[in-house]
Amino acid sequence: MVTPMLQPAPAMNETTHDAIRAYYHALFSAWGRQHWWPAQSRFEVIVGAYLTQNTAWTNVEKALGNLRSARLLTIGGIRRTPLPELEQLIRPSGYFRQKAQRVKTFVSFLDERYGGSLARMFARPTAELRDELLALNGIGPETANSILLFSGNHPVFVVDTYTRRVLERHQIVSSAASYDEIRQLFEQALDGTLPPKRSLDGAPSAMGPQGACHRPSRVSTAERSALAQVFNEMHGLLVGVGKTYCLKSQPRCEQCPLQKFLPAAK
């Protein structure tokens, strides 16, 4: 096992941007498309973004399955479902009382501000809509950006624990870096980057791990801008690194596609 050398991270500059772009191309070449977010509708993405807080995705899938079976995984379905019933349907996701109330709050926000229309909401300028989402109870930067990128196809980068862990071990950011500093690093580094011509479908393979890919879905295959597609793929690829190789303890650096970029390797 290669033990990453933890030293103060360098200042963010063009060399840092080059590294981010190199990571993107190396990971995409290894794993192809990741098909984020796995959903059949934009509203399902939003509900999933709430439900995935503080729980595993397998638990979210159970909760979404309950809503789908009850034919309630729609804006109207959530609107008309009594809160106690909604709580029981999403119970597998954990913190179900908080999450049920927060999903209800989002639908009320959508109704009051945008007449219940996601299209009208996502037509808002990115920065303005992000501020509105962040003002809602239960929405932090990661959830807001997930809604903007994966549901609304706004070009914002989603930073999570895996992203931060990879960058810290590669000495690109320090542990003191803020969420927005890391977000802006990726947005600046990948601006102008085009999706690679090599287009792998990212479906689960018997040949081994393919990052954090999902099977293609209506949302994951939807048309989006080139930059939104790059941000989408890069997030999924880094999740694959974090879940498979860059583990919290005992990282598996030798098999990781980013191993050659580690400071220790250089």
**What tens digit of pLDDT does each residue of 238-251 get?**
999 999 999 999 99
Least confident among 107-116, 128-137, 257-266: 257-266
By percentage, how much of the chain surpasses pLDDT 70?
89
Mean pLDDT, rounded, for 82-109: 98
Question: What is the Cα–Cα distance from 196 to 64, expressed in whole angstroms?
Answer: 32
Categorize the per-residue pLDDT at 13 as very low, low, confident or very high, splitting at 50, 70 and 90: low
Residue 264's pLDDT is what?
73
CB contact at 8 A, 44 and 73: yes
Residue 196's pLDDT is what?
72
pLDDT at 114 over 50: yes
Residues of the chain with CATH 1.10.340.30: 42-151
Question: What is the Cα–Cα distance from 138 to 156, expressed in whole angstroms?
Answer: 19
Phi, psi of 103 (to 5 degrees): -65, -40
Residue 217's pLDDT is what?
96
pLDDT at 41 over 50: yes
Residue 243's pLDDT is what?
94
- pTM (two decimals): 0.90
127 contact partners, CB below 8 Å, separation of at least 6: none
183 contact partners, CB below 8 Å, separation of at least 6: 141, 145, 156, 157, 159
Buried b (16+ CB within 10 A) or exposed e, 190-201: beebebeeeebe
Residues of the chain with CATH 1.10.1670.10: 14-32+157-193+210-261
By percentage, how much of the chain surpasses pLDDT 90?
86
Under DSSP, the state recorded for 216 is -
The continuous run of DSSP H or E covering 155 comes out as: none
pLDDT at 253 over 60: yes
* Dihedral sign for Cα atoms in the order 93, 97, 99, 103: positive
Which CATH superfamily hosts domain 42-151? Hypothetical protein; domain 2 (1.10.340.30)
- Cα of first residue to Cα of last residue in the chain, in angstroms, is 15
The SS3 of residue 158 is coil
* Dihedral sign for Cα atoms in the order 163, 167, 168, 170: positive
Q: How many Cα neighbours within 13 Å face the side chain of 158?
A: 31
Mean pLDDT, rounded, for 93-108: 98
CATH number for the domain whose boundaries are 14-32+157-193+210-261: 1.10.1670.10
The continuous run of DSSP H or E covering 54 comes out as: none
Under DSSP, the state recorded for 208 is B
116-124 own/partner pairs: CB under 8 Å, 24+ apart: 116/75, 116/79, 118/42, 118/43, 118/75, 118/151, 118/152, 121/152, 122/42, 122/151, 122/152, 122/153, 122/154
Please, what is the average pLDDT of the chain?
A: 91
